[in-house]
Structure 1
Amino acid sequence: MKNSLSTQTWDSIAADISASTQTSFVITRSSPIGGGCINQAYCITDGRQHYFVKLNTREQLCMFEDEAAGLMEIYRSRTLRVPSPICHGSDADSAWLVLEYIDISGRASGKGSDLGKQLAAMHRTTSTHFGWIRNNTIGATPQVNSISSNWVDFWRTHRLGYQLDLARKNGFNGKLQTLGENILLELDKLLAEASPAASLLHGDLWSGNYAFDEMGNPIIFDPAIYYGDREADIAMTELFGGFPADFYSAYRHEYPLDSGYNTRKIVYNLYHILNHLNLFGSNYRHQAEQMMGFLLAEIR
């Protein structure tokens, strides 16, 4: 049975799928899928075909358009599997993104080393400039990807500076802003050893955004892509529980990290901690201030 979402919306989604696949699709069952805090998620089926559907308010259609474009950018790299976008659209009440449904029950049988090797290959997909051709979101926060030829300027303006400005608007002032201003001033020193290629990044690569398919092959999803220092992806894998040890050894074997990574990873993860501060509140303030204090002590 369908859930409490309006019948009209489900019918619109089914019609969108039918038009995109050129195959008639009528929803006979929709099952909620937990785990996300931004969108509602469902598996829908007609008894033969299955699809994964994300739902949000109609105002969030642009977020789904950006996600679909990001998935296609990774797909075109021919390196890591992503769920294929089927269609996206909206009606008077809701916006939706329909994706290929992938059985991820094979997580236990997958190898972190395969994920490491394939991510290294994805990071060798490069652009001539940092950023991307469109903005997107990191969680529910807008992420600015304006094209830049200078990595430090990009990180200063569109990553740390953007999050600090947002924190100020959210009422996080005082020590956080004082430390943040100093970090922005000293960023050239903190990233002095960095001369990265503009690598294709997942952008939000924490442990909840990868799995393994039914054959044990790695799959990544929920991207916030842009082109930047590949170490920003690796740094985030170390947040919120980390990845398996064989992931790191395989990645480093394929694409060794440069000296100074242990400092740079804090610069890069500060972006995500500030974003969590802005999304989820003051529990992340002390962590952000600690990170900034450590970085400033490194260059004194």
Structure 2
Amino acid sequence: MPSSTAAGSSALDEALRKRIGRAMGVPVARMDGVSGGCIAQAFHVRLQDGRSVFAKWRADAPPGLFVEEARGLREIAETPGAPKVPEPLYADETLLVLEYLPPGQLDREGWAALGRALAAMHQRTAPRFGFHADNYIGATPQPNPWTEDGITFFAEHRLRHQLRLARDRGLLDGPLVRDLEALIARLPELLPSGEAPALVHGDLWSGNVYAGHGGLGCLVDPAAHYGLRETDLAMTKMFGRLPDAFYRGYEEAWPLPPGAETRVDLLNLYHQLNHLNLFGSAYLGGVVTTVRSYT
């Protein structure tokens, strides 16, 4: 997992050490802060019995943030052939304790194996699209009501949900709202029909792909649900892309429908809108560019 730096000795740190110790039933020997998290503070924790765990803490966490992340991790972990994810050891409203995954490196075969494992995960299905509960994409609420049709699910509970949040916050003007609504109305002609619900990670940018010890490709920080499998592959290309061996491994295991590359930006519009809602107008240009490219 990410590199760590020694945590301070403030009263808050001491209280958190005690909370983690109570959760694990073993006192904390050392707690090091981990860089890179923008949703919660993260720590590499060494327990007095010699074990290491990974902890995430946020005092003002939205309701269910960590409990639902743990639920998603368990769903992935229970899927035959799926990528390795950290086992959730404890979750409450402000604290999540996970199995610690020692870092390593991925070679070409490791990336190909991760692609095949993601394809295996996507082959786990459900009667409908959605999930057992709503969860979060970053810190944004992500609704997951059970829905019969995947395109309807993506339209209503992904794009239109984010559109409404951005409109209500004054981040979208009237003409752009109309253009977005027009694009959403065209989704049945732009996305392949008949796709079965697939268990997806839901937030699969490169930062949530982790090289574990022994060359094992791992996934972290899911926003899991049963959705369109192409959404995971698309997001791996939103901030750069993963090595080609990863995509070859996936295609060898389960080829994507024709034209998948032309749908990448369309599917990533959900994440562009989410970044607009999370971080503000710096992400507006990407939304505008994507909308124009499909209208």
Q: Same fold (TM over 0.5)?
A: yes
Instruction: Kindly indicate whether residue 50 of structure 2 is the aligned counterpart of residue 53 of structure 1.
Output: no
After superposition, give the CA deviation of every residue in 1:227-275 in whole Å (9 maximum; x if it has no partner): 0111111111111011100111111111111113133322211001111
Give the TM-score normalised by the residue count of structure 2.
Answer: 0.92
Report the CA distance between 1:128 and its aligned residue. Answer: 1.1
Separation of aligned partners in 1, 2:247 and 2:259: 17
* Cα RMSD for the two superposed structures: 1.7
The match for 1:85 is: 88
Which residue of 5, 15, 25 maps to 2:22? 15
Report the CA distance between 1:181 and its aligned residue. Answer: 1.4
What one-letter code is carried by the residue in structure 2 that aligns with 1:266? D
Separation of aligned partners in 2, 1:9 and 1:248: 41
Gaps of 5+ in 1: 19-24
Instruction: Kindly indicate whether residue 248 of structure 2 is the aligned counterpart of residue 249 of structure 1.
Output: yes
Report the CA distance between 1:287 and its aligned residue. Answer: 1.0
Separation of aligned partners in 2, 1:44 and 1:116: 30
Structure 1 residues 246, 109: CA separation in 2 closer, same or farther (over 3 Å shift)? closer
The match for 1:44 is: 45
Gaps of 5+ in 2: 1-5
The match for 2:3 is: none
Instruction: Kindly indicate whether residue 166 of structure 2 is the aligned counterpart of residue 159 of structure 1.
Output: no
Separation of aligned partners in 1, 2:262 and 2:194: 14
Contact 1:134 1:146 in 2 (8 A): yes
Structure 1 or 2: more helix by fraction = 1
SS state of the match for residue 91, structure 2?
strand
The match for 2:188 is: 188
The match for 1:205 is: 204
SS state of the match for residue 279, structure 1?
helix
The match for 1:27 is: 28
After superposition, give the CA deviation of every residue in 1:96-137 in whole Å (9 maximum; x if it has no partner): 100001112335687211111111111111111001110100
Contact 1:203 1:225 in 2 (8 A): yes
Give the TM-score normalised by the residue count of structure 1.
Answer: 0.90
Structure 1 residues 32, 2: CA separation in 2 closer, same or farther (over 3 Å shift)? closer
Separation of aligned partners in 1, 2:285 and 2:95: 36
After superposition, give the CA deviation of every residue in 1:176-222 in whole Å (9 maximum; x if it has no partner): 2121111122222222x332110100000010001121111111010
What one-letter code is carried by the residue in structure 2 that aligns with 1:155? F
Report the CA distance between 1:72 and its aligned residue. Answer: 0.1
Name the count of aligned residue pairs: 285
Structure 1 residues 106, 229: CA separation in 2 closer, same or farther (over 3 Å shift)? same
Instruction: Kindly indicate whether residue 290 of structure 2 is the aligned counterpart of residue 291 of structure 1.
Output: yes
